[in-house]
Amino acid sequence: MALNIGDTAPSFSLYDTDKNQVQLADFQGKDLVVLFFPLAFTSVCTTELCSMRDNIGDYNALNAEVVAISIDTPFTLGKFKAEQNLNFPLLSDFNKEVSKAYGAQYDEFVLGLKGVAKRSAFVVDAEGKIKYAEVLDDATKLPNFDAVKAALS
């Protein structure tokens, strides 16, 4: 099911790389950028998340928090986060429920992998409503980060 601007963002409770539960409700009262990415350690995902790392100040200046979600385990995400020196939470959707709720999931990805998260960007406002939604079918493309920033300003 595709999410549209104005829809209530699906709630979530996922584990981060430190094995802490992170919930959408933790960000109530703040704008939140929610990125879904297919798999840690892949080239385009690394490019995307390192770009976010390098530009985190832009999002901080807009009073926005950032989280990135994939179906990788918290342990894999922890290694990836450490190697790439990422400065925002990576969350594990290992059970593939949150990416499905956001309409950001492949039926079948490369190598016959099922339920992998589609590269996506959402902006959830302080009241929990979707302000921006972009779900990419082509995993080689990056989200439109200029449009994400525009939705935050």
Give catalytic residue positions. 45
Q: How far apart are CA 133 and CA 3, in angstroms?
A: 7
Of 55, 36, 16, 40, whose CA–CA distance to 124 is shortest?
A: 36
29: left (phi over 0), alpha (psi -120 to 50) or beta: left
* Token duo for residue 9: 């963002």
Of 85, 101, 84, whose CA–CA distance to 14 is shortest?
A: 101
